[in-house]
Structure 1
Amino acid sequence: MKEQMNEQEQTVKSTNYWKMAFLALLATIIGLAVFVGVRLSENREEVYKDKVDQVIFDDKPSFQLVSNKEDINRIINHYLDKYLSTKTVKYDFYLENQAMLNGTFKLLGFPVEFYLYFEPFVMSDGNVLLEAKNVSVGSLSIPMNQVLKQVAKLDLPEWVEVKSKDGQVILHLNQLVIEDDIRIKADKINLVDDEIRLSVYFDVNESASKEE
């Protein structure tokens, strides 16, 4: 009788052992499958994000223009002469070792000439940030932000944004339209070494519609 009970106990223990082994194996397989699935989904997501972050422009530039301050000043002067031809206010903007804005505004009813000096920076979107560094208003002592407030009242192009509180002017080149179908983006501005790089984009669709 005792021998039969011992045999039954051994059979139960053996059965429990195989059940435990089977469950452990099943748990390992499920865990491995979940781990692999998670890893695969993470890799796909990372690749997708990288591709999205790298897309800045929909098309490649038609060509890159490498220029200098003298040539850029000619272009600026030509643009301002054309833009200000119908305006009563006059001002100049040109590049030396710094970018300089020269013009006049009225203070207490009297015209006051000013010189604003900026350090240019290329922004990640290809626009240009002008950081105001110095101001000269004759013998007057006027805070920088007050001068910029007066500059903001000038008849500036729509793509020029004056942020007087921050002492900055932003040139939104992505809003500047040249001959209807040409856009530009700044790549590099180094006034000290006289190196300026711009990417030029042609709107192929716009040109094609005109030809039709």
Structure 2
Amino acid sequence: MNKRWKIAFLSLLTLNVVIVAILAIGFLWPIEQEPLPASNPQKEAVEFHIQSNKEDLNRVIKSFLDEQKEGGRVDYNVYLRDEVELYGDIPIFSERIDYKLTFEPEALENGNVVLRQKGIKVGRVNLPVSYVLKAARDAYDFPEWVKIMPNDEVIYISLEDMELKSNLKVRADQIDLKKDDIQFTLLMPTKE
């Protein structure tokens, strides 16, 4: 009887060690990441300068995400407050855990936007930011012009690759959420 207990204990201990090792390897495995896309400046376009605010952009973002949700492509929410807030959930084992990521937006010289990770809340557990970004990238079908870069803890939004009606393009000029000052340039191609 004593020998059976030893075998059962050692089997259970071995199983626990294997599970912990698999989880550790999964968490520590390097995350593959694509390089930032090259900029393609819009040639022969008329520029329209637009100034907006968080309230209006939140309505646009909600409309876009609602449209994407109808196709079953997304299940996350984005809000502009004093920071950009991304809400969603990620699968961990057989459960889905809620998370909230906050980002500081920056308009780049090429007109694209980078969201630099600022804060994270994942249920009640502190997980590495890169893990949560990778899990979000893998769990959701983000548009091609949104690149999640877990190693750098940023989300790169390539506005120049965003497809709009009538071949319009958008370039971010200024994003200051605390002052509610958001400026874009709308580029309308011409046939000269």
**TM-score (structure 2 length as normaliser):** 0.74
Aligned-partner residue type, residue 83 of structure 1: Q
* CA distances 1:145-195 after superposition (whole Å, capped 9, x unpaired): 110111111111111001100101000000001114211000000001000
Does residue 178 of structure 1 match 2:142? no
Equivalent residue number for residue 96 of structure 1 = 81
Runs of 4 or more above 2 Å deviation: 56-62
Equivalent residue number for residue 133 of structure 2 = 148
How far is 1:200 from its partner? 0.3
SS at match of 2:165: coil
Identity %: 30
* Mapped partners of 1:89, 1:203: distance in 2: 30
Aligned-partner residue type, residue 189 of structure 1: I
Equivalent residue number for residue 4 of structure 1 = none
Decide whether the 8 Å contact of 1:159 with 1:172 is kept in 2. Answer: yes
Equivalent residue number for residue 159 of structure 1 = 145
Q: Which has the higher contact order (CA 8 A, sep 6+)?
A: 2
Decide whether the 8 Å contact of 2:42 with 2:187 is kept in 1. Answer: no
How far is 1:124 from its partner? 1.3
SS at match of 1:114: strand
* CA distances 1:17-72 after superposition (whole Å, capped 9, x unpaired): xxxxxxxxxxxxxxxxxxxxxxxxxxxxxxxxxxxxxxx54235431110000001
| Pair member with larger Rg | 1
* CA distances 1:55-114 after superposition (whole Å, capped 9, x unpaired): x54235431110000001111111111112111641101100000100111111211111
Equivalent residue number for residue 137 of structure 1 = 122
Decide whether the 8 Å contact of 2:46 with 2:190 is kept in 1. Answer: no
* Mapped partners of 1:72, 1:201: distance in 2: 18
In the TM superposition, 1:117-132 aligns within 5 A as 117-132=102-117
Does residue 65 of structure 1 match 2:50? yes
SS at match of 2:109: coil
* Mapped partners of 1:61, 1:128: distance in 2: 21
Decide whether the 8 Å contact of 2:44 with 2:190 is kept in 1. Answer: no
Decide whether the 8 Å contact of 1:127 with 1:186 is kept in 2. Answer: yes
SS at match of 1:177: coil
* Mapped partners of 1:103, 1:110: distance in 2: 13
* Mapped partners of 1:61, 1:170: distance in 2: 25
Aligned-partner residue type, residue 163 of structure 1: M
Count residues with an aligned counterpart: 151
SS at match of 1:94: strand
